[in-house]
Homo-oligomer: A and B are copies of this chain.
Amino acid sequence: MNTKELTKELMEKISSNYYKDMKLPTEDMLMEEYGVTRYRVRKAIQNLVDIGSIYLVQGSGMYIKESHKDSIILSNTQGLVTDFPERKVESKLLNLEIQEADNSLAQEFKCKKSTPIYLLTRLRYLDGEPFSIEYSKYNKEIIPYLNKEIIESSVFNYVREDLGLTIGFADKVISSNKINKEQAHLLGLEENDPGLFINDTVYLANGSIFNISMVLYNYKRATLFDVANLK
C-alpha cells in the first residue's frame, strides 16, 4: 500500500466515522496495521492535515476535526464535480469561442502571441440551484478540443482521464465585489448584491499554464475553507 492508497483508506475511515473517539491510532499502530514504514504513514497523515481533516498534537495524538464537506476546500479543490461527490452538479454552456492570444493573453498564459485560446462561460448548478458563473480560458495548444458535452460535465476530469495530462497546482486570488445585472439574473440575485470571486491560474505538473478562470460564486450558497499553518 503506497502513500496515495493509504491516504485514501484513512480518508474513507474518517468520513465513515470509523474512529469513534475522534482520534487516529498512533503512527506505530498505523505502521503495523498497514505494514508500511513511518515515512508513508507520515506522508498520508500530512495529506489529511492539509485538507483540514485532522490536526496533530506532539506528545498527544492525531485528532479528527469536524467535517467541512459543505465548503469548497481551497487547498485541493478539483472542480465542483469532484468537490461535491454526493451532490448533483450540472452545467449550462452560455458561450464558447476561440480567439488568438493578443499580447495581454499571451502574457497571462506565458504562451506565444496568436496561440489559439478557448473562451467559455458556464453557469453551474448545485442540487438544481444556480451556484456559480465561470468565465474560463483554455490554451488550445494544450487542450486541443472542447465541446458542449465535455464542458457541461467536467473539463478537469476530461483533461486528466481522456487527455492523460497531470494537473499540478492552481494559484487562487479571492475577492469580493458587486455583481452586475446579468450575473444577478443568472444566479437569482439582485444587481449590486455581493459576489464571491476566485481568479484561478491552473498549471500542469510540467509547469505550463493551461487554464485561467474567473469564478463568481453565489454569496448565499458558497463558502470556502482553508487551514493556515502558524507554527
Contacts and interface: CB of A to CB of B under 8 A. Distances in A.
A170 B219 contact: no
Copies in the complex: 2
Interface string A181-218: 00000000000111110000011011100000000010
Contacts of A78: 230
A115 interface: no
A176 B203 contact: no
Given A205-B57, A206-B57, A230 B76 contact: yes
A177 interface: yes
Determine chain A's interface SS by DSSP, over half rule: strand
B171 A207 contact: no
Interface in A119-158: none
9 contacts: A74-B226, A75-B228, A170-B228, A173-B224, A174-B226, A175-B196, A176-B219, A193-B194, A196-B196
